Amino acid sequence: MIRLHHVPWSRSFRVLWLLTEMGIEPELIRYRIGDREMRSPEMLALSPAGRVPALEIDGITLFESSAILHYLCETRPEHGFGRAPGDPERVRFLELLSFAETMASLIEQLNLNHIFLRPPAKPSPVVIKLNTARLRATLAALDRMVAGDYLLEGGFSAADTMMGFNLFAAPYYVKLDPWPGLQAYWQRLEARPGFQKAAATEGPQDFYDRAFYPVPEG
């Protein structure tokens, strides 16, 4: 039994996508952000902060998307999606997995300000402006890191699935127009059969209600 605790088009997409690339179809336990079940004792036993993803696999449970991707790569090395110690791409692989969370934490802040805050709470234009600029800087950095078709010259890896969620979400806040190479990379990711299959499992996103959220005046 492989069971993924999942919010569609959230960070748990990273895990769904890598599993799909490996030909593994997990049982999905779906939540929506804000669901009480995400803070239930059962969920907290799987993921102590009540976050997704959490993965039940091989008789154990893991949380944190990066740790899950590492585990999947190390226990299923035949797919070649990881970079083991000693591999010349190991260091860059590790950097990218963590860097994806540097970027995702900015997306999370923007989601909070643009989407989750409800009156009387007010989004802060200053915080939005700052986080948008910081997100832009991480995208410019990512653009410089694309090495050939993927993030690692050796080919598609879990670093790409880690960035998949980011590149789905970031363009709602920062347009990718200044970086044609990054856009082409994202199109290559989206064109992969594994991505298409995982995206079909997700269905259309219903989280963002417009195509772009500009920085508000103020």
Ligand X SMILES: N[C@@H](CCC(=O)N[C@@H](CS)C(=O)NCC(=O)O)C(=O)O
Select the residue whose beta carbon is closest to ligand X and give its number.
51
Spatial CA neighbour of 129 closest among 117, 108, 113: 113
CB of 186 to ligand X, least distance (A): 19
Q: What is the rounded CA–CA span in Å between residue 40 and residue 199?
A: 28
Which CB atom, from 97 or from 152, has the smaller least distance to ligand X? 97
Nearer to ligand X, 64 or 143 (CB): 64
With respect to ligand X, which residue has the nearer C-beta, 51 or 92? 51
68 vs 152, beta carbon nearer ligand X: 68
Residues that bind ligand X (CB under 6 A): 7, 10-11, 33, 38, 51-53, 64-66, 101
Supply the minimum distance, in Å, between the C-beta of residue 76 and ligand X. Answer: 19
Cα–Cα distance measured from residue 108 to residue 214, given in angstroms and rounded to the nearest whole number: 16
Strand extents, DSSP E, the chain: 3-6, 27-30, 54-57, 60-63
Distance, CA of 157 to CA of 159 (rounded, Å): 5
Q: How far is the CB of 208 from ligand X (least distance, A)?
A: 13
Q: Work out how close the CB of 187 gets to ligand X at its nearest, in angstroms, rounded to a whole number.
A: 23
CB of 213 to ligand X, least distance (A): 17
* Closest C-alpha to 214, from 183, 179, 170, 173: 173
Tokens 């269905």 correspond to what residue? Answer: 203
**Which is closer to ligand X, CB of 12 or CB of 20?**
12
CB 169 within 8 A of CB 12: no
CA separation for the pair 91, 185 (Å, rounded): 21
